[in-house]
Structure 1
Amino acid sequence: MMTIKLGVCCMKKYVRKAILLTITLLLVSASPVQMVAAVAAEQSNLKSSTQDKTKKAALLDKVFKMPKRQSEVNISADNDKAPAEVQPEPKADPMPEPEKPDAAQKEKISEPTLAPQLKATETITGTYGTSPYTLDPDTGVLEFGAGTLAGGAINNATEFASYISMIKEIKFLSGAKLPSNSSDMFRSLSSLEKFDSANLDTSDVTTMVRMFYDSAATTIDVSGFDTSAVTDMSRMFYSSAATTIDVSGFDTSAVTDMSAMFYDSAATTIDVSGFDTSAVTDMSRMFYSSAATTIDVSGFDTSAVTDMSSMFYDSAATTIDVSGFDTSAVTDMSSMFSNSAATTIDVSGFDTSAVTDMSSMFSSSDATPIDVSSFDTSAVTDMSHMFYSSATTTIDVSGFDTSTVIDMSYMFCHSEATTIDVSGFDTSAVTDMRAMFAVSEATTIDVSSFDTSAVTDMGDMFGGSAATTIDVSGFDTSAVTNMIYMFYYSAATTIDISSFDTSLVTDMRYMFYQSKVLSLDLSHFTFNSECDVDNMLYTHSGNLWKLTLGANQTFNSDANIQNPSVGSTIPGTSDYVSGNRWQIVGDGTDHAPTGALISGYDIPSDSRAVTTTYVWEHREKWRGVNGNSPWYLNPDDGVLTFYKSEDSSPTVLAESVYNNLISTFGWSTELPKLVTAIRFEDDVAAPVNSSYLFSDLENLQSFDDTNLDTSNVEDMSGMFAYASQLSTLDLSHFNTDKVEYMDTMFGGLSSLTALNIESFNTSNVTNMGYMFVETSLSSLDLSHFNTDKVENMSCMFLMMPNLTALDLSSFNTSNVTDMFGMFALNGLKHLDLSHFDTARVENMQVMFVAASLETLDISSFDLSGLKEVNPDEGGIGVTSPVAFMFSSWQALDPESDQESNLWQVKLGEQTVFPDDPGFEAAPAAGTTIPSTSYVTNDAAWQIVGNGTVLNPKGDKVSTTEMWDDAIRPVTYVWANKNQASPSIVSVDALNFGTLSLANTSLTPTATNMATGNLKLGDLDGNYHVSVAQAANWEIGTGGQTISSDYLPIKYGDTSLASGIATFVSGDTEDAVVTELDVKFNHATGKNFTLDLRGSGNLSPALGETLTTTMTWTLSDTPE
């Protein structure tokens, strides 16, 4: 027996593994020899964005000239189809703000003319009345000594005429006294900052009217005032700038007039809780525009008060407790709480039996609710503006006695009350109802029982009112002279004015302007020669569709009767306006008129021998005819059905469904939006020119082509374009034998995920530009397409983000001249165009721009036919025919973060670029190559050369060299180096069986040729495995040897003892093979054999184990 060891020797190139092979030979004299080969192999491991949509859309349109929708095309129409002219809103304020009541006007007191100011050089002294005074010009302190000051305003006194602006502070020494009439004493001192009443005697004062009127002093100390004799405090602090006024110690027991006492005062806190008001008769404007946020009047005795008008007008106080007020003597409550900030006002206990004026009482008040249900209004004559702009949502006036009321103008104007019950109002004495309910929030107003026989002014009465029903059928308008804005912007849809007597009315301007009234009967109206009807009937909002006028009744055309908007719906019906004119009903009905057509502008002057009704020109909404095919649009489910012609002639459509629908009903774009499905009940033929036949139906979800004959169609361009809700489209019944144009046929079908076009015969098609642009298809089978005649494939697959694979191997592009943007912005990762014939192509601008491509084969591209592009006629505004051909979106939008994934480009002999096609620079080293586990090793492109795409051997190049280099053909890849290590993973043992030395002519074959295996790993490109016997045989363990020449192992005809044999060679063809098994008998006619025919003496090996050394070598080229 002998053992054979296989040793290791160094190999070049891809030598990765040395194999130790042991062969055991058992030699027995005159008996078979058993040989066993055992293999031990040493193992060795090897190294292995957000776009602005709006901005992008604009760029897409600019770059790719996206096809326009029909809805974006300006469709011309004759004059009858022109939209009605829009009239301007009236410039006049329809509901002017009411004038403030007289009580709210600021007093106008003439200012004195001052003598020129003198420059003070020393203390100024003098006597005022009997009181000596000093004025320090440096400090501005005016100090009065013992004695009584003169009456009247200091700022009017000649003593101080030259020094008024110097006075900053007023003080008093002991004995200083004010006169009985101290009215206006300290008013209008514009430089005064402080008033100190310490030492001042006011015991004789009876009148303090306007005492601090318009005073600039921010501090007024009146805490020491003796007011026991005062009877008049009206306007005492009117417009005073003092932020704090302490009147808590005032004795007001003798005061009868407190009107405007704190009018416009800046004091934020006024303590009047201790006031004795038992003698007061006038509290009008007492807290008018006062800044005080808290006013405690809960203890006021108001039993003698007769005037409370504007008492809290514009007061800042958020809480006013008047629940204890005795108002039995009050006659005037006008503007009492007008514009008050108080959110709660309890007037439920008010005795209003003597009140005659409640005008503006709660106007613009924030109080809610306001309980006036117990008010006795039997004496009231004026309720104008009473609840004007009041915030209260509930007003109970159902118990009001209005029998003496003369003025109700603006009473509920701008009121937020949603319910107003005026059904019991006695309005027999009312003369003015102007703007009574204007802009009122009340949805129901019952004025059916109103006696309006004395009313002269109804202007704005219901202008802007939210009431949907207004019954004025019983109104007596015989005395009315003004109806301007009466129903201006009114929400009422029905207004019966058929009984109105308008013989005295001189102003009807804007009477129904923009109201929602549907029909009007003006047949009884008298339009006298002085009556102004400017814009009386203008309703651009499109509601007034029926108008009845009397015989021989004419009026000024300035009434502005608008023509209807063609395509709108007749209110309350499903009928569509079919023209922009009116029609006389005649012998027909309102919905089937038979009379003449007339413009709204001509109706006022139309000759009418009898009462005449005019209605909008209209027809039934849901039916029409396209060509000679009648159709019906089901309003419930949106199914549009086409039927056979009503005569015996073949049924053929004539125009696009979109245009047919809108033209049928006056160019309205609303009807096409209702279409959700299209079907053909009978055989219907599509026209020869079927371009855009079913396009722009933005809600179309189903299309059934059964019964649609397309056999004569030559043009299908844009046929389904922009049907953006269509997700599935089966056109298996389409006959396209004659079709020449399919450009944009499915363009803009952004929801389309399934498309059946298997029946398409495209043998005559010349234009497929934009054919599938912006669809959501993830797969597309075009293997049956015949493109022999196609000349235009521009943007054919533009913006198909879900399409990741596309087989165009059947495409014949020999006649194509335009491939502009053909694969731009799509999801394809690998594209093999190696068969494309581009010899005639003239434009390849942006052909692959912003695509998701990783690998691209254009090795068949012949660019010799490319021509400069005229920027004015097409392309992207530059002349180069290959501009931006391979660019990422960043080239067009530098702010974009979208980068190119294209890492492998294969160019052919004729792929010679005339200009820079926009190859993107390779990414930084360490970048993962898309769809592989490999990374780049340099920021450069590299020629593959005799390497592989994942282990290139050629030179590194710049993007300029890529297109400008004359080397062709060539494959460019991102620079990288194979990170895997090709290896011999394992080799099975060789077994030669039992041999007999008696037959030395034997060349036994390894017994496991069929099962023995060589395993290779991580192969990349070319590989070559060789084997050799590298040493003599060793006999047992005794140190003896036998020459390998005596006992050579052979592979085929090659002796491994004296040479090297190739075991296996191959090429992985640009792929990485992670594991490859090679059988010992993989090569036909080649086996491992042992040659026993040598001349050497083998007797020493009998019964021994022989060992020799062999070497297996893996490389990329043969040795």
Structure 2
Amino acid sequence: MNTTVTTARNSFRQDSHSMLKSRILVLAIHIFVVYSGFTQPFITTWKTDKPGVSSPTSITIPTAGGGYNYDVDWDNDGTYDQFGITGSATHDYLVAGTYTIRIQGAFPGINFNNGGDKQKILAIEQWGGISWANMANAFWGAKNLTSNASDSPDLSGVTNMANMFIGANAFNGDLSGWDVSTVTNMINMFLDATSFNGDISTWNVSNVNYMSDMFHLASAFNGDLSAWDVSNVEDMMYMFKGATAFNGDISAWDVGQVLNMSNMFEKARSFNANISAWDVANVAGLQFMFFEANAFNQNLKDWDIGSATSMSLMLSYSGLSAANYDSTLIGWESQGVSNLSLGALGRIYCEGDSARNSLINTYGWTISGDILACFPVSSAFVSTWNTNNPGTSDSSSITIPTLGGNGYNYDVDWNNDGTFDEFGITGEITHDFGVAGTYTIGIQGIFAGIYFNNGGDKQKIVAIEQWGTIVWNRMSKAFYGAINLTSNAIDTPFLAAVTDMSFMFYGAASFNGDISGWDVSNVINMSSMFTNASTFNQDLGNWDVANVTNMRGMFQSATPFNANLSNWNVSKVTNMSFMFFGANNFNSNLSAWDVAQVTNMSYMFYLASTFDGNISTWNVGKVTTMSNMFNRASNFNQDLSSWNVAMVSDMRSMFQMASVFNSNLNSWNVAKVINMSNMFNRASDFSGDIRSWDVSKVTNMSLMFAIALNFDQNLGGWIVSKVNNMQFMFSGTELSLPNYDSLLIGWSTQSLFSNVQFHAGSSVYCADSARQSIIDSFNWTILDGGLSPNCGPPTTTYTSGSWDNGAPDSNTEVIFADNYDTQLDGGSIEAYSVIVNPNIQVIINSNDSLNVSNDILIKGIITVKLLGHVTTNY
């Protein structure tokens, strides 16, 4: 019995012990699982020597607000090094490098906020089990941030993601699994996150109220947002501005609560979703909404605009066709809304004319920028091609080049017989004629622009026969490199929507078509338009260029061009650099041009060897660079004395080889100029007195007066202490003895740049001590014509005391380096020449005399008391 009992007891004890161990094991496993889930760390990688506020061997974890109680494993080895941190934390690794760290515990948010060590964080490796509370400003400015994380953050406590990835240019992490259902604010979330194109199609954004600027400048983003529930969003301003790749189908979005859509698709150049059914009845701000969204071409006639307060520039430079714009005007007129201002630059209307007039005259609207154009008969753009010419297609084919993106839906008649052969083409197309030869083709429909861009079959197109009724949107680089292009067209292209003609005929060496009747009134950019168009010389006098801001290189190397441009309104142009470079036949009257906004005139008349226009009254007050402006303008010699050049910093080669130029420039304010190298190089007639120029900021005077054969001025007063390059400054030029001596003497009193090589041409000197002082004090190398055989006596420098320490006579040059009071009791001082250094005062007392047989150079003060005398025979 006892045995049995004992056995039973032992058995019970064993069973109880086993059960206890099992329970403990289960509990331990449970605790481990829970604890492990709680402590899965947030892991990131950093590079200490990227720019930041901490040292090149350190990083700072940025925080904001309260609620922090976290631990950090600074080397990601699994052992935590610092505990219970309640704010930002800085760690010094002592050695610069790349380090991975772990964070566990209460860490409600990271907060770079465009500061601190924003550039040092390189990657998110794991989000972990951190319970995030705030993501606003989290990675703002973290331009090097990427993500290798395969998990998702716990965002259940997050309502604010504003500014989260602003400027995180490298970030393109997988965010597809994120639960953002509690978030209410996504303002600026991906602003300027230029690499981001993650799949966020399944995000639950139903609680979000604010999405303004969310994808602003997110130029790579083109995600599917079609299923998003945006029914609670109130603000979408700037949402896709500059999101140049975005063209998502958002037609089904419920935008009924939105109050502001201003700038929403501005410069979203790919966007063309059908949003005609959107309920915009509550939207007040529509300004700039589709500004320069040049692919957008939808009919907005059914939009309820009853709450709209602003439509300025709303449709300007968008892609709305005449048909859709007509329909939109008609639909909006029927709503009877009053007193709106609609901007529609470049839009064309015809059938909507009556509705437009009613909006203006009946309902008080202001509509600006659109153009009435009713084409009675549609006609094709006709061009001729020679398949045998070099190109990328084979010798019996041609390729019509187009610019990528939207704006094309055209048909082609491959043999110009009036019967079109291919339809609905949306990009470039190649056609094989089967036999090499010359062919004429017709294009009709939506054809935004032809785009050779110095490539493709640029040499195969030989003529434009007819511009037709194509509504052109793009002319930039249209015929760039089309060296065989001519024009037989007697009509004009429809250019109302064109803003950019840069490089249009660049290198079109055969082109000389009559384009005098073109309406270019909406064009902004004409840079390099006729560069190397070496045959072009047409009348452009009536062109309306009032909106053009850039004319850089416009007629560069258009060698025969000499049209009358006297009436051009260039008041908005800011860049005229290279404009007439190499246009060696150009000599138009430009005297009335308003150039007050121009900042760059570099190379403007370079090699314009005929130009001698009167531009004396030009207002150049905003120009900052005039380098090479008249270089090799060998006929130019106009009065520039009244020019305000106070903002100019670069005058290098400005009059180089302007061989007849000799204007009076003595009043020019050159105080901001840094570079004057080659400025008058070979300007053989120039002899202007520019001794009063303030050149104190100039660093380079190399070759400034090289072979300037007539130049001989006293530059001794120039402050040249910042000049570090004077190589060949007067090479091939000879200053007179007095002027060269004055230069040496004046410069010797300054604190000069060391180790300068100064070329004074064939100029000879007598100011030996001043020259030697420059050499000894600043280690200059001076190359000149040597000591003049006609020099006066040696120089004596008086630094203290009276004349008794070596009394001068009429054979001695005297330099006063200290203050001096004569006190001669009616005596006389004789000297060959006298120099009074800056800040030095010499007093000639009563009855004392200073008699100088040569010149007196006063940089300080000479005070002559009553009955004192100073005489000079020079």
Relative contact order, higher structure (CA 8 A, sep 6+): 1
Q: Would you call these one fold, judging by a TM-score over 0.5?
A: no
> TM (normalized to structure 1)?
0.32
